[in-house]
Chains A and B, each alone.
Chain A
Amino acid sequence: MRHRKTRWAMWAAYLLITVTALAALAGMGFLDLARLTKGLSNTRMFISDLFPPDLHSLPTLTKAMFETLQIAYLGTLLGFVLALPVSVLATRTIFGTLITAPLRLILVIIRTIPSLLWALIFVVAFGLGPLAGTCAIAFYTLGYLGKLFYETFEGVDQEVLEAVRSVGCNRLQLMRFALLPEAANQILSQLLFIFEYNVRASTILGFVGAGGIGFYMLGYVQLLQYQNLMTALLVTLGVVLLIDQASAAIRRLVLPPAPDVKA
């Protein structure tokens, strides 16, 4: 009887997903064949305009990409340094609701604002340039890493916390000797992930004048210099691939697959 109910519920869920997806497709114009055909031909034209890439802009773009990398690196680092203590204080298994709830609310508010909007806010505050971009990335990183970290800390085996707490240590010692070491691998993994993400996110911060290669990308689009845009995209692609490879290498080096057989 219960099994039949579950099956009905599953079919109802499938139907609901299909209907809502179709409605959304229609609403977005995906079912408008004439529009899609025209779009495809426009895309073909745009792609052909991108080639061959104009390598004259390469020195300028390399310099701008370096600035983007600096924004991502420093922003990630600052965000990480802020996120670590905030996330510990937001961990419900260590601190009470009076401390965790307001911090979690602050982290939600920070996350609600996209990095591009943070960049705009900091451009207004500090003026055009990489300082605004770095602050934007730092805030965005704080919002995301803060949440990821406190969820990781809350996932630390309760028994380990109980055992370490039971030696008579306080919360700071608990953090140092149980929480951080137990979560270290995941923290490093999340840090690398957010750095990779921030490198990509930093490339468009220049759209609002917050420094980096994005400023040039937007300029090339506005001036219809698609071959220069292609060069910028290739530089970005190369750097992102390099960062991905480097971060994979760090993971392999620092995070060996640990056999975790409970005694």
Chain B
Amino acid sequence: MTTNLIADTVPPPAIAATGVRFSYTGAEFALKDVSLLVEPGVICMLLGPSGSGKSTFLKTVKGILKPQQGCISVLGFELSRGLNRQLRRELGCRIAYIPQHLGLVKNLTVMENALMGALGRMGVVASLLKAFSQPDVIEAARILERLGISHKAEEKVYRLSGGERQRVAIARALMQRPKLVLADEFVSQLDPVTTREIMAIVTETAKEGVTFLITSHEVELVAAYGDRAVFFRNGQKVYEGLAREVNLDAATRLMGKS
């Protein structure tokens, strides 16, 4: 059982990045002096052409990649500072990350994948025995029900369609009881109907105070679902503003090959 070190009442910025520089090779920078502030409870759409640094930025926010320069605070905690183990773990739980191909364990069932979101707050021995607590099982069942996939709870993930897998990934993220969800090219491979359904779930969840940072290369999504829009190009932030003010033509030009 972890104590609640991250305050539920005082909402610091979900993400506060300043002068972030990151390079995979040591030579060319994938992120060049990126600064970004994302307020809690908003859906921030991060757009840019392939190779513009969107996914890299997401990974630095999650702490998977460590920037060579600059600083990133997530939910009020500076990642580069030596956070103690318990805090690191709780922070890990509160930041859900959905990679581009969702990162689901295909040989496990929908329910097992969803319950994985509770691993961070479980005792190790109980989790190794897959002895999930009754409240966690009930919570997972409720989330699956809400996402419209409870009828496939015992189905192995490899048998699911793309849209169904997307829902499982959201279920796992929600089981983390996140404050921030980082989703990489989240709906890029879905048909328009499924995209609408999935984004409706995102909008509903954001209303509960969860912040979303979603990368995409589809400008049409911005105005429809986003609160804020940020454009990256060649590893730099080239535009930031309200999603509803984004001019579609200008945005399409920005999305041109970098």
Chain A positions within 8 Å of B, measured between CB atoms, are 157, 159-164, 166-170, 172-173, 176-178, 181-182, 184-185, 258-263
Contact = CB atoms under 8 A, between A and B. Distances in A.
Interface in B104-119: 104-108, 112, 116-117, 119
A181 B156 CA distance: 11
14 contacts: A159-B101, A160-B103, A167-B96, A168-B176, A169-B120, A176-B127, A176-B128, A177-B112, A182-B105, A182-B107, A260-B106, A261-B162, A263-B161, A263-B163
B101 A167 contact: no
Contact of A262 (B93, B95, B101, B124): B101
B159 to A, nearest CB: 8
Interface of B: 62, 64, 89-90, 92-93, 95-108, 112, 116-117, 119-121, 124, 127-128, 130, 156, 158-163, 165-166, 169, 172, 176, 189-190
B92 A167 contact: yes
Given A167-B172, A168-B90, A259 B103 contact: no
Given A159-B99, A258-B158, 13 more contacts: A160-B103, A161-B103, A163-B99, A163-B104, A164-B119, A167-B92, A176-B128, A177-B119, A181-B108, A259-B158, A263-B161, A263-B165, A263-B189
A169 B119 contact: yes
A1 to B, nearest CB: 27
Contacts of A178: 105
Given A162-B64, A166-B95, A166-B96, A181 B105 contact: yes
B116 A162 contact: no
A159 B100 contact: yes
A131 to B, nearest CB: 33
Contacts of B95: 166
A173 B92 CA distance: 14
Contacts of B127: 169, 173, 176-177
Contacts of B117: 167
B194 to A, nearest CB: 10
Given A166-B62, A170-B124, A258 B176 contact: no
A261 B107 CA distance: 13
A168 B108 contact: no
A163 B97 contact: yes
B162 A263 contact: yes
Contacts of A182: 105-107
Contact of A163 (B92, B98, B128, B189): B98
B97 A168 contact: no
A172 B128 contact: yes
- With most chain A CB atoms within 10 A of its CB, the pick from B98, B108, B166 is B108
B103 A168 contact: no
B102 A163 contact: yes
Contacts of B159: 258-259
A259 B93 CA distance: 31
Nearest to A156: B105
Given A163-B97, A176-B128, A182-B106, A263 B62 contact: no
A151 B190 CA distance: 33
Pairs of residues from A and B, 5 with the lowest C-beta to C-beta distance, nearest first: A163-B103, A168-B120, A168-B92, A263-B162, A263-B165
B128 A162 contact: no
Nearest to B97: A166
A161 B64 CA distance: 11
